Amino acid sequence: WFGWSGFNGGSALAADDTAVLALMNTYQAAAASLVIWALLERLQHRRASSASGMVTGAIVGLVIITPAAGFVTPVGAVTMGAVGTVLVYPSFQLRLRVDDNLDAFPCHGVASFVGACLTGLLAKEGGLLYGGGWKLLGAQVLAAVAVAIYTAVATAAIFFVLSRFMAMRVTE
């Protein structure tokens, strides 16, 4: 969590109002995400959320707010954390035949995609919900899709090359 303080707060490249806003938004989005995550787990499993579940929820919120930390209002940060978590949570339920025991793909891949798109909605300057029209939202969605495609192709290429030299799964 400490690293996100430096990353999001430091992205302003100054100790100014933008850095303060980024830090405040970082913590608020993570807190909102943690609360929503705990509620979703309670609804799904009919018991209290585990500590690791709530930490996962907070991390999802940190990932979601990262592209927007200095560009949304505090209410926008809470909205991104809450709504983003509702959108990301189902991706943790998918069980693909991929070795991802730490849920890195839904936690970082899906959550960052959602965060990038929500930035286009909630950015104070240019966001769709702030009267900015579709330009920023379109750019954010296009960039998120481009990054997803690039990442999938690069990962597949690396996987293919490595599979020629070593086993890619641990035998049971």
* Per-residue model confidence as pLDDT tens digits over 14-46: 888 999 999 999 999 999 999 999 999 999 888
Which range in 86-95, 99-108, 150-159 is most confidently predicted, on average pLDDT? 150-159
Q: Which residue has the higher pLDDT, 49 or 81?
A: 81
For the chain, give the percent of residues with pLDDT over 90. Answer: 71
Q: Is the pLDDT of residue 152 over 70?
A: yes
Is the alpha carbon torsion for 7, 9, 12, 14 positive or negative? negative
How far is 86 from 24, CA to CA, in rounded Å? Answer: 21
Residue 172 reports pLDDT greater than 70 = no
Predicted TM-score (pTM) of the model is: 0.90
- Between 36-40, 98-102, 125-129, the lowest mean confidence (pLDDT) is in 98-102
Average pLDDT, the chain: 91
Closest CA to 31 of 57, 67, 64: 57
At residue 97 the predicted structure's pLDDT band, cuts being 50, 70 and 90, is: low
